[in-house]
Each structure stands twice: as C-alpha cells, then as structure tokens.
Amino acid sequence: MKKTLFLAFTGVALLSACTPSKDSLAAADTNDDVILHAWSWSFDTIAANMKDIAAAGYAYVQTSPANTCFVGENGGMALYSNPGDSVTGKWYYYYQPTDWKIGNYLLGTRDQFKAMMDSAAKYNVKVIVDVLPNHTAVDHTAVLPDLDAAVGGHEKLFHANGFNDIIDYNDRYQCTTGKMGGLPDVNTENPDFQHYYMTYVNDLLSLGVKGFRYDTAKHIGLPSDPLDSLATRNNFWDVATGREAVKGLRLAVPADSLFIYGEVLQDKNVKETEYAEYMDLTASAYGHALRSVLDKSDFKADSLLNWHHPVDGKHLVTWVESHDTYANEHESAGLTDEQIRMGWVFLAARQNGTPLFFSRPAGSTRENYWGNNRVGARGNDEFKHPEVVAVNRFRRDMKGQPETVSATDNGAVIEVARGNAGVALINISASEQDIENLPTTLPDGTYIDKVNQQSFTVSNGAVSGHLSPFKSYLLYSK
C-alpha cells in the first residue's frame, strides 16, 4: 500500500498529518534491516571485519563487483591516482567487466570470496553483491575468450547500438542500448549471454550470496522499451529474477528469498514503477533532499516526509550518500562525518526504506576525499560509531512501530517517534539546542538516552531537554 505523509504546521513543530494518537498505535509494516556498503574493501578485509559488522547491527554487507575486470594502470591499487602519483590505479576498474566469473585483481580470488562467505555465515550476516551485466570494459578488446565464445562471438556480445554514445539519457532507446561513459553496451537480450551471466549469478548463490545490487539498472531495457535490432524480446529482467529460464537455466533460488535492488537513478522518463515490478529501487532523489537538509541544518530546507519517488518507501533503498555521490563528482564528500552520521540516524530510525551506509575511505577528510587511497583497505570507523550502532539496534527494536516525524521551529532538531516505544532526537546543527514542548508519542516520564546518557523529560505529550551539536539521542519507553 502506498503511504504519503504530509506536513502540518503547529506553533512548535512540523508534524506528520497522519500522526497516530498515543492510544491507537496499531502495528505497522516496517523495514527492519540495514546494509553496510563495504566500498572497495577486499574480500579478505570484509571477512576479517565480519564480527564487527555483525556487532554493529548490519543485516547485510554489500561488496563491490566480484566479476573479472579490466586491469588498469598496470594493476595499481590506488582508489584514485593522478599523473605522477607514486601509486597508480582507479577504484572503478571493477565496474569494467572482461568476463563474468568470480574474482578480480582488486578485491580477491574466488577462494577468497568463498572464505568471506564462510565468515558471513559464521556471524549471520547476509552478503549482497554488486552486479553489472549492462556493459563491458571501455577497452572491449580486453574481453576474455571464454565470454566471446559463450555468446557466439565478440560482435554478438553487444547491442547493434552499443557503440553509439548516449546523447539523450531520457530517450529510452538510447538509454537502454547505447554506450554510457565510454562503456560499450552489452546485448543483455542475447540468450547466450543471459545463460552465461546466470551461470555467474548461480555460482554466487551457490556460495551463499543473499542478494544483488544491479548497477546501471535503468540502462537495461524493460518489456515496454524499444528493441535493439539484435534483440527479439526485452526479457532480461524476467530471466534475472527467475520468472523465466534461459536455455534450461533458471535463477537457482526463488527471487523472493533474496534482496534484489536496482540502481535506477531518477530523471525524466524513467520507468520506476515498471522496474519496481522486478526489484526494489534506489531512492536517489530522497538522498539529494536529505543532503540539502543536512547542508543547511534545517529540516524545512526540503521535504523529507515524502520519498520523492512513485514507489512506496517499503521498496526503496535509502542512503545519505552513495559511492557515486562521494567518489564521482564529490557531490556529498563535503559533508562532515558528523553530518553524515546524523543523516544516518534519521534514515535508520524511520519506519520504511532499507538504509545503506556507505563506508568512506580510511583517513579521509573534507580536504582529502581519498584518505589512505588504497583499494582493498577497510573504510574509516564511522560504520561502527556508537551512534550508528545504537540506531541500527533501535531500528530492529522498533519493529512493527509506526512513525511520526516532527521538528523544531528552527528545523535544527528532528524527532522520529516510533509508536509509544521509542524516539530518536537528532540535532543536525552545529549549535547547542534546547527543546521544550516538542510533541511526542512517548508516555510521560524521565528518559535517559542510550548513547550519551543524557536526560530528557516528557510531560503532557511533549519532550524537553538539551542536545549537543551534531548529536543524536535514542529514548526507549521500556
């Protein structure tokens, strides 16, 4: 069911118009899990940190692409190098497939992947793999012979339009068949390719993988999209999600037992609702709105009570930032770790959406986005910061509790109330904030928050207390 929240103005706060009364809070449909995006961590590094990942409350860890990829800059292991740097390399080479088999020089071998999966099973963490069937390496001559042979020859690997640059991303024919950013477009409708790709997917599943993120998903055609001249049906998504078999091969486990979502970045003429028939989707516009609120330290700077998306929040993956917003044009990289953390607390405290926490590079600062600048290394400690861990647990503890979102008049403090059971208070500003009479659903009483041991008082349905700059506070009624 699609739910939309509207702003209603009062003298002290912005309140959801569907605020439930304290006496009639029925159980609600909720998303309860969170994802750690272990961006550019090697398989060995993820395995070595699996205990901490589990202890921090993540149900899922998402890897970077595991497929065989183009070896760039003589195999250098820098996240990003400039001419003259002593260590060369680029993180994005693993987004340039040369074959669809497990293992690459940046993240590790198939055996190392399997060892990571064994560690995940030990700590009951589910693994999502970033997959990208849409394109090959920029240098398509680097495609390996096994792949060429499997699809019927090199020329059959690509769409007829696959070497023509996309000029208009809102033209669905160009978008789903053309070359994006120099990456030749694979003929994902070729049954021989589909069979080869699904063999890779099923190999991942055989090792225990529990989900997939489909990179550049909006560049793979839907049944309603125009056909490339080398395609007879746009049926890739039916095959990828197990609705159809291809040459006798089907997705090895039911799709509804997996967490599958697609990177369908929002723009004009993007068929979000049709993509959503196959998988969950990324809430890219919502992330932009949240970053605007954080940048301005004002809840009222953009609307956060609707998902900026035609698909219900239950089926959206949310983030404060993604690897693209951080690493490509550095759109989000100027936000401090504290601001990102406050945004995360807001997302994770909410009733719906499945939040994804992007792991920034170790040693990164707002002047040096690449930090220690090594592919394979663990990110910084933010993924297990006490406030992050606390809200990850809060989210699970609030299972079935409906949300009420409100804020102070100045927009500096956001409250996410979850039924009568708990409240997250978030100071998104660089200033001390004293709140008085902020409406809440908590029962009257004195509360000590779970993170900072700060005291708050609830009286006559309103909460009062003191909040330090860029700090969050979690209050439980039991």
Q: Which residues are catalytic?
A: 215, 263
Burial letters 405-437, b for 16+ CB under 10 A, else e: bbbbeebbbbbbbbbbbbbbbbbbbeeebebee
Residues 195/210, Cβ–Cβ less than 8 Å: no
Nearest Cα to Cα of residue 119 among 66, 52, 202, 201: 52
Query: What are residue 342's phi and psi, to 5 degrees?
Result: -65, -40
Amino acid type, 197: Y
* Tokens 């096994």 -> residue: 146
Q: Enter the tokens of residue 278.
A: 């196959």
Nearest Cα to Cα of residue 335 among 306, 364, 305, 355: 364
Distance CA 291, CA 339 (A): 9
Strand-pair category, 316-318 with 280-282? parallel
Distance CA 335, CA 286 (A): 16
356, 360, 366, 368: CA torsion to nearest 10: -150
Sequence-distant (≥ 6) Cβ neighbours of residue 71 within 8 angstroms: 93, 105, 142
274, 264, 151, 42: CA torsion to nearest 10: -140
Distance CA 31, CA 354 (A): 6
